[in-house]
Amino acid sequence: MRHFFSYGMLNVNQHYYAPRAELIEQGIAHLRGEVPEEGGRYFTVWGPRQRGKSWIMEQVRRRLLDDARFDVLALDLDDLEIVTSPKDVLYMILTEIADRLHLARPNREQWTPTEFLSQFRSFFSNQVLSKPLILILDEFDVLSPEAIALIARAFRKIYMTRQRETELPLDQKTFLLHGVAMIGIHSVLGLDNRKGSPFNVQNNIHIPNLTHEEVMGMFQWYQQESGRVVESESIDRLYHETQGQPGLIGWLGELLTQSPTPEAEKDFSLTINQVERALYTAARGLPNNTVMNLIQKAQEEPYQQMVIELFQASELQEFEFHNPVHQYLYTHGIIDRASSKSGDYVKFANPFVQKTLFQYFSGIWFGAAGSVVPPFTDLSDSATPESLQLRGVLRHYETYLHANSEWLFKAVPRRRDHRIYEAVFHFNLYHYLTRFLQDFKSQVVPEFPTGNGKIDLVIRHGGTLYGLELKTFSTVRAYQEALQQAARYGQQLGLDCITLVFFIESVDAENREKYQTSWTDETTGVRVDPVFVETRHD
């Protein structure tokens, strides 16, 4: 029986996988060429980490091996990341090609400072190669910028020469480098743009996430082999949380389907509750390279600043590939782009990533916050085992904030004007509520319905569901819009009442009384309870 897999390249004989036939056919067509006698393409295969780029191109390589007109080689360049000399990089690439094709290694003594690039190009000539070569270079972007620039220059010259020889038979062209695929994350695309590349960089292949149908197909395959019933709503939830990110699907598939006693599981379904437990465990309880890598990247500066700003975004931020911060976070699977009528904007890659980072930052900044209420505090005005009064809970929180803010926010990131990011208060309130309610065995869950700054907290307490929508107070008009938005969200949750929390630096007693008045939406019938939390302390 197959199994789900998330570490390294998938094995089609052992693992569940999505065929991705269209992408594979596209790769074959690019490398072989629409008219093979005129040559293949030189192009990039790109996308964030853990998208399956290498696996797709390995399937392309295997299919092309059946075409006797070509030699087909795939080189993994990962080991060359530590090689600092561009000349050494070029030589090591050629020696591997020579060894794999049983050719004489190039004579490095002839590589003079002014001629080594021409010597590199000449290796791909019809004087050295016996038939056209299709080359797949994996991890191309680990090379130094200098090495990438030299290789691009050499390939550019070869490509231009081949374009002038389209009438010649395949094996009679000056250079026999027929097609090249350079696999990497998005930064690789920059190699072609600096001096106006002659090979069309629009002919790249972008590797997207898995579709809902592809994810469903993998789990239906598992259902057929295991005998377990896979409930469709559980896969809907899994897809929503991951947006089909292949590495996360493989890992969560492992958590959901592998156990010490698989025989005992054949009699029950794979349910949405099991998916929720797997998501919880994945975000908190188990080490995973994908999760550890995205946390590491997100906390580095200047990238952390962008992540924090995205958590508090009141307006959509335009997505720009040429922005180095956007590009870095995109290539490491932290952010993605989404489209609106006004253009592309930044969002978190998926809800799982957003929740994982939210949990992480709230933990490292406020995990050692001590007691959140003084001993012997009477909580009967706010919490009993059966019910919550969220206005009372938030009064306790505001008191805690004022009493402890001098040290509580000492290590948190700040804006350029040294003021605390608004999102930091969202992290702090979430952590406060989890501590405040821990003795009641309540569950506090952050939700991010838009993928950027909008945050809601859902509390399950005493068998009842409560909702809090968090905002920063800016204007009266925005306040009125927030009331209507909160009512719609309360309706989605099936609630009669929802609490709308406004963080504000200071508010006088008159305005607090005026704007903390409960309001009922006539359309939805949901009551909205606005509550101010004053963040400034004297």
Residue 344 is predicted with a pLDDT of: 87
Higher confidence at residue 474 or residue 55?
Answer: 55
Calculate the alpha carbon distances from 20 to 217, 230, 244, 279, 295 in Å: 11, 22, 13, 25, 29
Q: What is the pLDDT of residues 437-485, one digit of tens each?
A: 988 889 998 888 766 667 889 999 999 999 999 998 989 999 999 999 9
Identify whether the C-beta of residue 400 lies closer than 8 Å to the C-beta of residue 372: yes
Q: Are 462 and 440 in contact (CB under 8 A)?
A: yes
3-state helix, strand, coil in the chain (%, to 5): 45, 15, 35
Share of the chain above pLDDT 90, in %: 58
CB under 8 Å to 129, separation ≥6 — which residues? 71, 101, 103, 123, 176, 177
What is the C-alpha to C-alpha distance for residues 208 and 180, in angstroms, rounded to an integer? Answer: 21
Give pTM, 2 decimals.
Answer: 0.86
User: Which stretch of 64-78, 210-224, 468-482 has the lowest confidence by average pLDDT?
Assistant: 468-482
Burial class (CB in 10 A: 0-12, 13-18, 19+), 513: exposed
Which residues lie closer than 8 Å to 4 by C-beta, 6 or more apart? Answer: 15, 16, 218, 222, 249, 250, 251, 253, 254, 256, 257, 258
Please state, for a pLDDT cut of 70, what percent of the chain lies above it: 92
How many degrees, rounded to 5, is the angle at CA 142 between CA 139 and CA 145?
Answer: 130
User: Domain limits of the chain?
Assistant: 21-206, 212-286, 368-534
CA distances from 391 to 426, 434, 443 (A): 17, 16, 18
What homologous superfamily does CATH list for 21-206?
P-loop containing nucleotide triphosphate hydrolases (3.40.50.300)
Q: What's the pLDDT at 264?
A: 47
Strand partners, 338: 345
Cross-strand pairs, 497: 527
pLDDT at 90 (0 to 100)? 94
> Which pLDDT belongs to residue 57?
97
Question: For residue range 362-414, what is the model confidence (pLDDT) as tens digits?
Answer: 888 887 666 788 888 888 889 999 999 999 999 999 999 998 888 888 888 88
List alpha helices for 65-115, DSSP H: 86-101
pLDDT of residue 133: 97
Tell me what the mean pLDDT of segment 178-206 comes to.
64
For residue 409, count other CB atoms closer than 10 A to its CB. 19
**Taking all residues of the chain, what is their mean pLDDT, rounded to a whole number?**
88
CA dihedral 506, 508, 509, 515 (to 10 degrees): -80
- For 255-310, how does the pLDDT look when each residue is reduced to its tens digit (9 = 90+)? 999 865 444 455 578 999 999 889 888 877 666 777 888 889 999 988 998 899 88
How does pLDDT run across 313-362, given as a tens digit for each residue?
666 788 887 788 998 899 889 999 888 777 888 999 999 999 999 988 98
Closest CA to 176 of 220, 132, 208: 132
Residues 6+ apart with CB under 8 A from 370: none
Cβ proximity of 242 and 249 under 8 Å: yes
User: Which one-letter amino acid corresponds to residue 183?
Assistant: I
pLDDT at position 194 over 50: no
Q: Does the structure show a pLDDT above 70 at 193?
A: no
Instruction: Identify the pLDDT of residue 399.
Output: 92
Q: How far apart are CA 29 and CA 174, in angstroms?
A: 22
Place of tokens 């960089």: 201
Higher confidence at residue 341 or residue 15? Answer: 15
Per residue in 85-105, pLDDT (tens digit) is: 999 999 999 999 999 999 999
Strands 335-340 and 343-348: antiparallel
Using only the alpha carbons of the chain, give its radius of gyration: 28
